[in-house]
């Protein structure tokens, strides 16, 4: 006699499925590889990715340098190392999912992806793609491209180029900046990116804007500076991209930059850190400031105790005034469906 060996989990799962079916529910499109993974490992890592290790001497050097600073910009909230935990769900409750350095373009604290079922994600990304394509008359999406490297979730639909959230957000930001400041064709443009992450926008900006003279990336988190140095070099965009470690920021000189960017960073910083950065932006005499907050309304910092403070007054006191504020996606239906609540905010210096 043969005895079938069924695991208790599988039996329980089948009973739950049957119970749900009697109520008229069925689990559709369940893809464990998609639902339970932060990264897409389907694209092989390049050989150089072996350098992306926690004990890389450059990363250790940056950690030592940053730890020695007692500047207000180092008063962190969300980005404190002790807030890093293994992934257990969306990082909404004031903590960061642990980062696998080699897969830094997966679903990480740098760029979130939409992690419903694969089908739901595909539908949402298709809607988002079509919304950006409507304004992308120069086909930046196709020209800049996406290879899915370093764990990045990417999508490919018939008749459309392969794309990712990294690519769509970046193209959308570039199109906004191009409309208001003419950045793509402008010769000699010099950009400063505060809280540049792994260099997402730096890479895309350098790909899109042939006349870019300099794109300077800054951050107050050593892992971000390390990844940004490594990634922009790997992509062959350094120069014009230059990554300046935090201790060297005070040595940057006034008049060196035309545009400062802060994309999804100040909403995760304390007001003390934002004040420090705005002192730098004012000192450097940068004519324009582009901010993309996380929140749907206002400009909110994140303090160590979880409270939020309005940082618009800090920007204004530094001599800047909000000139343009627009939802990142014009179509309200698309904004609700995806959902994307990002706003593109352009400030100009008035003082």
Ligand X SMILES: C[S@@+](CC[C@H](N)C(=O)[O-])C[C@H]1O[C@@H](n2cnc3c(N)ncnc32)[C@H](O)[C@@H]1O
Could you say whether residue 263 binds ligand X (CB under 6 A)? yes
Could you say whether residue 264 binds ligand X (CB under 6 A)? yes
Part of the chain binding ligand X (CB under 6 A), chosen from 29-37, 53-61, 105-113, 337-345 = 105-113
In angstroms, rounded to a whole number, what is the distance separating the alpha carbons of residues 299 and 289?
14
- How near is the Cβ of 264 to ligand X at its closest, in Å? 4
- How near is the Cβ of 293 to ligand X at its closest, in Å? 11
User: Closer to ligand X at the Cβ: 109 or 207?
Assistant: 109
**Structural contact between residues 315 and 330, judged by C-beta atoms closer than 8 angstroms:** no
Q: Could you check whether the bond before residue 276 is cis, i.e. omega within 30 degrees of 0?
A: no
Which residue from 79, 176, 205, 347 is in contact with ligand X, where contact means CB under 6 A? 79
User: Closer to ligand X at the Cβ: 129 or 218?
Assistant: 218
- How near is the Cβ of 341 to ligand X at its closest, in Å? 14
- How near is the Cβ of 25 to ligand X at its closest, in Å? 36
| Spatial CB neighbours of 282, under 8 Å, sequence gap ≥ 6 | 318, 319, 320, 351
Residue located via tokens 């996606």:
329
| Residue number of the CB atom closest to ligand X | 197
Q: How far is CA 76 from CA 85, 110, 164, 269, 295, in A?
A: 16, 16, 29, 6, 18
Give the CA radius of gyration of the chain. Answer: 22
Q: How far is CA 48 from CA 52, 58, 178, 275, 308, in A?
A: 8, 15, 34, 38, 40
- How near is the Cβ of 228 to ligand X at its closest, in Å? 8
Instruction: Give, for 35, the enclosing helix (H) or strand (E).
Output: helix 32-35
In angstroms, rounded to a whole number, what is the distance separating the alpha carbons of residues 202 and 275?
23
Which residue from 244, 265, 281, 328 is in contact with ligand X, where contact means CB under 6 A? 265
Part of the chain binding ligand X (CB under 6 A), chosen from 85-93, 262-270, 303-311, 341-349 = 262-270
Site for ligand X in 173-232 (CB under 6 A): 194-197, 200-201, 219-221, 224
Q: Give the footprint of ligand X on this chain (CB under 6 A).
A: 73, 76, 79, 109-111, 194-197, 200-201, 219-221, 224, 263-265, 268-269, 273
């Amino acid at each position: 006699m043969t005895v079938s060996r069924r695991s208790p989990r599988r039996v329980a799962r089948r009973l739950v499925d049957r119970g749900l079916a009697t109520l008229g529910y069925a689990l559709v499109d369940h893809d464990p590889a998609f639902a339970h993974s932060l990264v897409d490992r389907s694209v092989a890592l390049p050989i150089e990715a072996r350098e992306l290790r926690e004990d890389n001497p450059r990363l250790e050097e940056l950690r030592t340098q940053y730890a020695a600073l007692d500047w207000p910009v180092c008063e962190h909230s969300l980005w404190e190392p002790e807030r890093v935990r293994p992934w257990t769900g969306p990082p909404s409750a004031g903590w960061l999912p642990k980062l696998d350095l080699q897969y830094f373009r997966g679903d990480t604290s740098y760029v979130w992806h939409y992690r419903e079922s694969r089908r739901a994600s595909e539908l949402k990304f298709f809607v988002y793609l079509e919304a950006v394509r409507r304004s992308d008359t120069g086909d930046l999406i196709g020209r800049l491209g996406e290879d899915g490297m370093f764990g990045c979730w990417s999508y490919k639909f018939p008749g459309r180029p392969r794309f990712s959230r990294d690519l769509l957000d970046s193209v959308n930001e570039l199109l906004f900046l191009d409309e208001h400041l003419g950045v793509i064709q402008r010769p000699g443009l010099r950009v400063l990116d505060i809280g540049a992450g792994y260099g997402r926008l730096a890479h895309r900006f350098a790909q899109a804007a042939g006349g870019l003279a300099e794109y300077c990336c800054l951050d107050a988190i050593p892992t971000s500076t390390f990844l940004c140095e490594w990634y922009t070099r790997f992509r062959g965009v350094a120069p014009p991209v230059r990554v300046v470690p935090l201790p060297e920021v005070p040595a940057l000189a006034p008049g060196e930059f035309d545009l400062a960017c802060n994309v999804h960073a100040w909403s995760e910083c304390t007001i003390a850190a934002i004040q420090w950065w705005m002192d730098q932006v004012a000192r450097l005499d940068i004519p324009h400031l582009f901010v993309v907050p996380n929140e749907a309304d206002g400009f909110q910092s994140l303090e160590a105790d979880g409270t939020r403070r309005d940082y618009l007054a800090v920007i204004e006191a530094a001599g800047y005034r909000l000139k343009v504020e627009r939802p990142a996606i014009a179509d309200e239906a698309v904004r609700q469906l995806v959902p994307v609540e990002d706003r593109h905010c352009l400030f100009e210096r008035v003082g």
